[in-house]
Amino acid sequence: MTDASRKLPVRQPPGAKVVGQREPAAETLSGIPLDAVYGPTSLGPDWNPETRLGAPGSYPFTRGPHASMYRGKLWTMRMFSGFGTPEDTNRRFSFLLAQGQTGLSTAFDMPTLMGLDPDDPRSVGEVGREGVSVASVDDMERLFADIPLAEVTTSMTINAPAIVLLAFYVVAAERRGIPPEALGGTIQNDMLKEFIAQKEWICGVRPHLRIVRDMLVYCTRRMPRWNTISVSGYHIREAGATAVQELAFTLADGIGYVELGREAGLDVDEFAPRLSFFWDVHNDFFEEIAKLRAARRMWARIMRERFGAKNPRTWILRAHAQTAGVSLVAQQPLNNVVRTTIQALAAVLGGTQSLHTNSYDETYALPTEESASLALRTQQIIAEESGIPAVADPLGGSYYLEALTDRMEEAAEGILRAIDGMGGIVAAVEAGWPQREIAASAYRTQRQIDSGERAVVGVNRHTTAQTSGAIPTLKIDGTPERVQLAAIAALRARRDAAAVRAGLDGVRRASEGDANLMEAVLEAARCNATLGEICQIFREVFGEYRDPAEV
């Protein structure tokens, strides 16, 4: 026996413990304790695969919303894009479609997200910087020029002024002869999430929910292919929530919107199948897979048992996922490619229907064409080279995954019970409770990173003297702002001022009364009223909002 062979570790049989050895405690990023090994006893004596799992495409949909999953149809590769002028983003859309993207997703700049026109003093320096600038139907037409709106599904990440942007989109399609019934896509329109996490609003909670309600009614009756609300856990997670908090608060928001639709007189089986969900996917691989599986099971039960939905389509939670922007770091930026790949794998193994993969350079700037293409290629390699799509829910039945799914569900149910005890999610948000819970979680996480307790490769582990690399970045100069200022000035000069005043008066009357706001905003959009002009009516009628968590 050589000296080298004497140094080889002794292999222990599975489950054996070395005398005197202490196993380090382990837990998920949400703090769920983990055992060293999982087996049949980990699931408990009463664990029933028929009620906890079912088959893919069958209640409770733990294993996926469709029987064949990706064998029948791959997830939609929907890359989030938007910067500069509408023409700039239109070119990026065309580039990504040419690279094999299968759906569009639009990012808007900060003035647009806040319901401000480019020539508003509060917009100075921000026009086109973090997304595309859209303030009129003309802008929307430029954004989607030469893109077949009746064939490509479009997602728009917009919330506070969502009613205006959707109206612009509908009117832009009308000008091409495309009716609302033919349009397919999603508008985020998740105002509860805004008050909880992202903090972009125009007026208070209840006025915003009235706007969402009117959109829900209109789209249910006129836009059967359109998802009126994308219930978003993504921004809740990006604000610092754990996976369990993201799961619970997002489902609580979904419950709130179902209650809103029922209060409007809609039947749950009429509108709820068009609700969709948007999840953040982080680095804790199995926890993220378990989160998506638990979400489907919980939503199916909520819809069937809490709301009495009869249509199996209503029980299905349909999911879009995005890799975690907050997990990307500036130090050693190419490591972000690996993080995104791990997260994309988790999203696919968790059964998402649509996916955006972040670009490695997004901690520096908006993605370049090269980095966006690489992010898309990540999905395409998973789809076409990994073999994962060949089997529906390939990890189903894993002792560890099923136990973790149960624990995620149990922890999230505890938060939902607490919210119900406060009178529901609207009351909880108005009291600032979810906001404070997420802030506390974000603080704990940052303390763990700062102390080194939570590892971030390149930041507090495996660092180098040169912490960042020289990588090409997309630079946005002042040109988009100048172009958009000229465009809105030209629009104001050529439009019918009397028609605009009449359209805006209609929005004011609807806001002050109980007429459907979507109809009124559509008429104002047809008269060429701008985003800022319509949103200013909301500010004047409904008033401004102050976050109770910051008082």
Summarize pLDDT for 418-465 with one digit per residue, the tens. 999 999 999 999 999 999 999 999 999 999 999 999 999 999 999 987
What per-residue confidence (pLDDT) applies to 1? 34
166 vs 170: CA distance, rounded Å: 6
Considering only residues 44 and 242, tell me which one the structure prediction assigns the higher pLDDT. Answer: 242
Percent of the residues in the chain that have a pLDDT greater than 90, as a whole number = 86
165 vs 161: CA distance, rounded Å: 7
Inform me whether the pLDDT recorded for 471 exceeds 80: yes
| pTM confidence score | 0.92
DSSP-assigned states of every residue in 505-539? HHHHHHHHSSS-HHHHHHHHHHTT--HHHHHHHHH
φ and ψ of 62, to 5 deg: -55, -40
Rounded mean pLDDT of 67-81? 93
Convert the pLDDT of each residue in 257-267 to its tens digit.
Answer: 999 999 999 99
Per-residue confidence at 474, pLDDT binned at 50, 70, 90? confident
> Which tokens in the block code for residue 138?
């003309």
**Token pair 């972000």: residue:** 336
Considering only residues 462 and 548, tell me which one the structure prediction assigns the higher pLDDT. Answer: 462
Cα-Cα end-to-end distance for the chain: 73
Inform me whether the pLDDT recorded for 5 exceeds 70: no
What per-residue confidence (pLDDT) applies to 458? 94
Domain limits, the chain: 60-451
307 vs 255: CA distance, rounded Å: 9
Per-residue confidence at 468, pLDDT binned at 50, 70, 90? low
Inform me whether the pLDDT recorded for 385 exceeds 60: yes
CATH classification code of 60-451: 3.20.20.240
